[in-house]
Chain A
């Protein structure tokens, strides 16, 4: 086990190196050169300006040389400067990561709570209408493009009913709470501003729900299946026959046994979260990493694209590792390797 973990940990930096290299050359394989994201039409044909700009951004060197410099800077923690925002990429990302994390955590919480509840309801009322309803609701969520459900919900709740705010993390006039974690909910609480906390929450409802809905299907399915397993176990039947209250039986016995597979599947749904972040953040103008990724790709902003991919891949790899390990702990039968 320990050997396995160590091996996987060693693999991560190597994989990241692979990701960086693939990304770097992929980015530079695009027709034309990076100047197109730095200059306007007017100056692309002006040799003086082109030369000055190349010098300014170090683009006058050969590609392998640029790659070498990039890797060297990366090792010292410098991700380069974004072509689009003209700020250090790392600064851009660390500004946006909390926004994405906050949204991801909220959707994870809503998604797991709702997924677990739906799964338990479905198992409890197995093969009845509630079961069908719960399964359908969860399945619809994972079958719907998030950018469409987001749009529809935005239209209904923000434009028509006007009970939830439009895009963004805060109302336009509100000041950002003093920086501690960068997550506005937590920062607002730390600063003791309850109204601001509620406002942030209000802005998060729609995007978080849209992302959560897309994860409910997979979570509720697993919960339902393992719950059914557990409910048929001897000891549950015994507990029931002893006249223990139904709710207590479920919470005390069943839930505990359902937790491990559920946690594992929640880890697996991380990929959904990243996809969700990219699309949902675009619809809701949520200034997170996903929105940044889309804007940078559109602008051919190579330093930013590579930076986001490195961060995304690292998070992805670490989550996968944690998930695999917890999976192995949960099912000792599974052979790692």
Chain B
């Protein structure tokens, strides 16, 4: 009898304790998930961040464009139509008759966050440092041969080639103008020995030195980056005083935070997840984007079972079910992209939509001597890029190619491993391209089958020596482009796009729609091809 009552005693103790605990927590409003994100002044954004640096002249990544675009101003900027070049630090400019020399007149009002004026020496320092550090975004400064800053309010930039797109290239965030005195005081060097002597990157990870509406408040890798308003900003001050970008790797988590009001904007919600959003406070706007995914074939790979001749490559391209791919990878929210140059870019429009043609593909394979198909290895990054899961894409490719007897072996690796293996053991892969500015030269420089381009290097198995792969017509067009005016260039680019389709090295597999997802009270959202969201134009109701 005593035993029984004692036992009840033990249970009672426990249950009283538990009840008290729960009551305490409930009283504190503990179990409630709904939060009003922030006041009107603060914008909270969810994004999977891939920042590799915050030094404008070293960084090179999708998120870098967003945050560096917020912290640094460039000489000129891209207008809201994503085409027109507008003044920023330079209030106006002249181009010499031969198109080889640009004179920029700097805005006298422009000042850095510490109040010092933006002068031509800062422009010269920034461009030369960008050039000499020789980092990832180096291709955009290659054409510049000289920067003259003898007059503090005037900069003369001389170019050696590709003159038509200099303005676009100077609007890229990596061309950000830094406060040269401040940067030099913290170890920045702009001379030719910059790769060794420049020690400023660590400083740039904690500070910003620009003249833009926002300055860096704090950065915690894998966690968040916070930017606050620059109180001394010389232009129109933005309505938002503080921007917090939270690192949220998964699309689902971004959606959940957006629905519960913890964030105001989610930047990478994929179409499948967007369908599950029920909240009426969330706006989902879909619009065409300027990025696309592509399957790439590498004829120069050393571990090929069967040579990737033009016929074999064409067969592979024809076997891909583009419509089905859009459905599987994007839930249908995207467009089939015919050529590497997107429709909106000079020369990109007017191509027929590629269609799956299994009969022709089989015929080509038979002509190439492989009627029963063959085996090919696909090494690809195991990531989700703008809602497109590459494992899903490659499994779809695998199933499509199986229909013409080609057996694809899949090997997902991380991006870094993929880069480490590009020395010729990657016969097939998938990657993404996002435009850095409005202009078609970037596509030619990257994708053309002409020695000197990125993809010729990669497709030739990193040897840069594979005569059979060279497209001589493209080489010719490249020559012509050097001297072409804008009108003529567009025509040349169109022809270029046609040739690049026929290379069958780069096979675009869909241009995802961009989803702008944000809370109803956020005003002024639009898609900017450089910074994705123009934070300085946004306000909250």
Contacts and interface: CB of A to CB of B under 8 A. Distances in A.
Touching in the complex, A and B, CB below 8 A? yes
Interface of A: 30-33, 36-37, 39-46, 48-49, 52-53, 55-56, 81, 84-88, 92, 95, 158-159, 162-169, 171-173, 198, 202, 243, 245-247, 250, 285, 287, 291-292, 295, 298-301
A86 B52 contact: yes
Interface stretch (B168-176, B194-202, B229-237, B320-328): B194-202
Interface of B: 2-3, 6-7, 9-10, 13, 28, 30-35, 37-38, 42, 44, 46, 52-55, 58, 60, 133-136, 138-139, 195-196, 198, 201-202, 205, 220-224, 244, 246-250, 252-253, 256-257, 260, 262-263, 414-423, 425, 431, 446, 454, 457-458, 462, 464
A36 B38 contact: no
30 contacts: A31-B420, A32-B420, A32-B422, A36-B418, A36-B419, A36-B422, A39-B136, A40-B60, A41-B422, A46-B138, A52-B135, A53-B134, A55-B196, A56-B195, A56-B198, A84-B52, A86-B58, A87-B202, A158-B256, A159-B256, A163-B33, A166-B253, A166-B262, A167-B250, A168-B223, A168-B246, A171-B35, A172-B44, A247-B9, A299-B414
A241 B44 CA distance: 65
Contacts of B139: 42
B422 A44 contact: yes
Closest 8 pairs (CB-CB, A-B): A32-B420, A45-B457, A36-B419, A246-B6, A36-B420, A52-B134, A52-B195, A300-B416
Nearest to B463: A45
Nearest to B29: A198
A285 B220 contact: no
Given A42-B454, A285-B248, A86 B53 contact: yes
A42 B136 contact: yes
A43 B138 contact: yes
Given A31-B421, A247-B10, A299-B416, A40 B262 contact: no
B42 A173 contact: yes
A88 B202 contact: yes
Contacts of A95: 220
A285 B220 CA distance: 13
Contacts of B134: 48-49, 52-53
B221 A30 contact: no
B222 A292 contact: yes
A246 B221 contact: no
A247 B262 contact: no
B13 A247 contact: yes
Contacts of A162: 33-34, 260
B454 A45 contact: yes
Contacts of A167: 248, 250, 253
A291 B33 contact: no
B85 to A, nearest CB: 23
A41 B458 contact: yes
A55 B202 contact: no
A33 B423 CA distance: 10
B6 A245 contact: yes
Contacts of B46: 172
Contacts of B13: 247
